[in-house]
Structure 1
Amino acid sequence: MPTDPEPTTLTWRVADGVGWVRLNRPDRYNAFDQVMCDELQALWRRLRTDDDVRCIVLGAEGGKAFCTGIDRDFVPAEGGAEYAFSPYTYDDPGQQLGPKSNELWKPVIAAVDGIACGGAFYLLGEVDFIIATEASRFFDPHVTYGMPAVYEPLLMLHRGMPFGEVLRMTLLGNHERMTARRAHEIGVVSEVVADAAALDAAAGWAAAAIASAPPSAIQATLRTLWAGRELTRQQALALGGPLLNLGMSEEALAEGQKVFQGERIVPRDR
C-alpha cells in the first residue's frame, strides 16, 4: 500500500490483490478540486509499481453521486485577474484524473452509483469497464451552462460510446439524463445491478477474477487492446508481437499451468 500521508479526498484500501479507491467528497457530490486532482494523480502513479495491487475498483462515497465533474469553487470567478484563458498555456485538470493519463496499466473497474456527469467522464473514459446501479444517471451539462463540451465527450467517443449517443448526451445538456439501462444497451455500461451492496459484490467479484491471473499477462493484454483503439489494424497487429513477448514469462506460464491442472473454474453467465 502507499506509504504517503492518507489522502483527504479519497478513501483507499487493499484486499486480496484488489485496490478499492473511492472518491470522498460526498458533501460536494464528489466533484473534484485541485486537492482531489493531486491525490488521484499521486495514487495512480504509486499504483504502477505496487505489486500488492493487480486490479482496482473505483467508486465513490455518499450514494448520491459518483462524480459531478469540476467543483464550481475550483473555477476562478468571472472577471477576476486569474480568469484569462490562453490555449497555449491551458493545463487541463483531466490530465491528472484518469489512470491511463497517468500511465497506470492495471485494470480499473468503475463502480457507479448515482449521478455521473460532466468531468466524471475524465474518469469513466479511462477505466476498462463500468458497472452501475439501477439508480445511476449519466449526462453532460456543459452546453447548458455556456461551456463547450470537448474533452469529456471525446474520451467517451474514443472508448466506444456510439457517435450519435455522444452527440445526444452533450447537445441536450441538462435536459436529459441517460439511465443505467440505456447505458447498458449501448455498451457504455457492462452490467447493471440493483443497489450499492450488489455493486460492491459485482465489482469485487470481477476484480478478484482479474487479480487471480498473472499480472504480466493482464498488463500486456490491456496495453495491446488500448493501443489497438488508436492504431490501424496492421499497426496494432505489428505491435502485438513485442507486447506478447513482454507479457510472456516462465513464471506466468507456470502459474497458468497450475490453474489448468487444478480445480476447474466454474464460470458465471452474464
Structure 2
Amino acid sequence: MSRYQTLDYVECDGVAWVTLNRPEVHNAFDLQMMREVHDCWRELRDNDDVRVVVLTGAGDKAFCTGLDRASTDLNQPKAAGPDDIGQRGATPLHLNDPGDLLPPKTAGDLWKPVIAAVNGMACGGAFYLLGEVEFIIAAEHATFFDPHNTYGLAAVFEPMLMLQRMPLGEVMRMSLMGSHERMSARRAHEIGLVQEVVPASELRAAAQRAATVIAGHPPLAVQTTVRAVWYAQELGIRQALDVGKPLTLLGSSAESMAEGQRTFASGRRIDWRLR
C-alpha cells in the first residue's frame, strides 16, 4: 500500500509507477499533493532500485487538471500558512508557486527518466509536470489545454515550460484560447508534444514496455544521457557541447562499457519494434 495520501506508488523491476490519485477532482493538486509529489521526486532520486519512473493519473477522465482552486484562495495576498501557494507579504515580489514543488527536474533534481502516461485531460498546472518529463505517451481520448486566461489568470510558468517541447505558435494558441479549445492527442502527436498515441486500454502496457527497455540499460549511461539532453535545451549549443565533454567521461563507466561490449560481441539479436 502506498504511504502517500494523494499518490499511489508501486515499484517493480526497476520501474516506479507514480499515480496522481485524486480522481474525484480530476487529479487536481492541492498543497498536500504538491508536497507529496516533491517528496516522491526526492526519494526517487536516492532510490537506486528505481531506474525509470512512469507518471500517470487515476481513472480514465484526467491526467491532471492543475491547481484545485477549491482548496486554494488565489485572491488572498497573504496566505494562511508559510508554505501556501500565492503572494507572500504585502508586495508582489515574493511568491510561492507550484513550480517550487512539482517539476521533476527543477524542483526534484531528478535525472532518472520520467515517462508520462496521459490518460485523459491535461490542463493548466499539469504542464508543470509534463514540461519536464522525458516523453509522453497518450491515450487516444487525451486532451491538452490551458484555461488560465479564460478565468482571469495570466498563464506564465506553464507556457514557459511547454515552450521547451512545443512550437511557439502552438503554445501561444493553447495559452490564448483558454478553455474554448482543446488539443487532441492526435494533434499533440503531430507537433511533437506526444511521442505515441494508443487506445486507452493499451496505455499502461505501452508505458510499461518503454520503461522496461530503459530500465534494462546501465543507469549511469541513461541518467547522463537525460542530463545531457536537458543541458542542450537549457544552454546555448556551444556551452552544451563544452559540458558534454566531461559528461561523456562521467557517464561511460568501464563496467557499463564492458557490459555493452559483451552484448555487441555476443551477436544476440535485439528484438526491436517499429514505431
TM-score band (shorter)? over 0.9
Answer whether contact 2:29 2:68 (CA < 8 A) is retained: yes
Per mean C-alpha deviation after superposition, the further-off stretch among 242-251 and 71-80 is: 71-80
Distance 1:51 1:81, change over 3 A: closer
Residue 263 of structure 2: aligned partner: 259
Are 2:40 and 1:43 equivalent residues in the alignment?
A: yes
Distance 1:77 1:219, change over 3 A: closer
Amino acid in the other structure paired with 2:253? S
**Deviation at residue 90 of structure 1 after TM alignment:** 0.4
Amino acid in the other structure paired with 1:251? E
**Pairs within 5 Å for 1:118-129:** 118-129=124-135
Are 2:240 and 1:228 equivalent residues in the alignment?
A: no
Are 2:12 and 1:15 equivalent residues in the alignment?
A: yes
Q: Encode CA deviations 1:99-135: one digit per residue, 9 max, x unaligned.
A: 1021000000000011000000000001010000110
Answer whether contact 2:142 2:185 (CA < 8 A) is retained: yes
Q: Of residues 224, 239, 253 in structure 1, which corresponds to 2:243?
A: 239
Structure 2 stretches lacking a partner, 5+ long: 81-85
SS at match of 1:205: helix
Amino acid in the other structure paired with 2:134? D
Residue 136 of structure 1: aligned partner: 142
Structure 1 stretches lacking a partner, 5+ long: none
Residue 253 of structure 2: aligned partner: 249
**Deviation at residue 97 of structure 1 after TM alignment:** 0.8
Distance 1:137 1:173 in 2: 13
Amino acid in the other structure paired with 1:100? K
**Deviation at residue 259 of structure 1 after TM alignment:** 2.4
**Pairs within 5 Å for 1:106-255:** 106-158=112-164, 160-195=165-200, 197-255=201-259
Distance 1:175 1:222, change over 3 A: same
Distance 2:78 2:254 in 1: 60
SS at match of 1:257: helix
Distance 1:204 1:119 in 2: 25
Provide the identity percentage: 55
Residue 94 of structure 2: aligned partner: 89
Q: Encode CA deviations 1:185-241: one digit per residue, 9 max, x unaligned.
A: 00000000011x311111100011111110000111111110111111111111111
Per mean C-alpha deviation after superposition, the further-off stretch among 254-263 and 213-222 is: 254-263
The number of equivalent residue pairs is: 265
Distance 1:12 1:255 in 2: 31
SS at match of 1:97: coil
**Deviation at residue 245 of structure 1 after TM alignment:** 1.0
Q: TM-score, normalised by structure 1?
A: 0.94
Amino acid in the other structure paired with 1:154? M
Amino acid in the other structure paired with 2:207? A
SS at match of 2:177: helix
Answer whether contact 2:30 2:72 (CA < 8 A) is retained: no
Per mean C-alpha deviation after superposition, the further-off stretch among 168-177 and 81-90 is: 81-90
Distance 1:217 1:80, change over 3 A: closer
Distance 1:259 1:9 in 2: 42
**Deviation at residue 255 of structure 1 after TM alignment:** 2.1
Q: TM-score, normalised by structure 2?
A: 0.92
Q: Encode CA deviations 1:156-210: one digit per residue, 9 max, x unaligned.
A: 002x200000000010001100000000000000000011x31111110001111
SS at match of 1:135: coil
Are 2:56 and 1:59 equivalent residues in the alignment?
A: yes
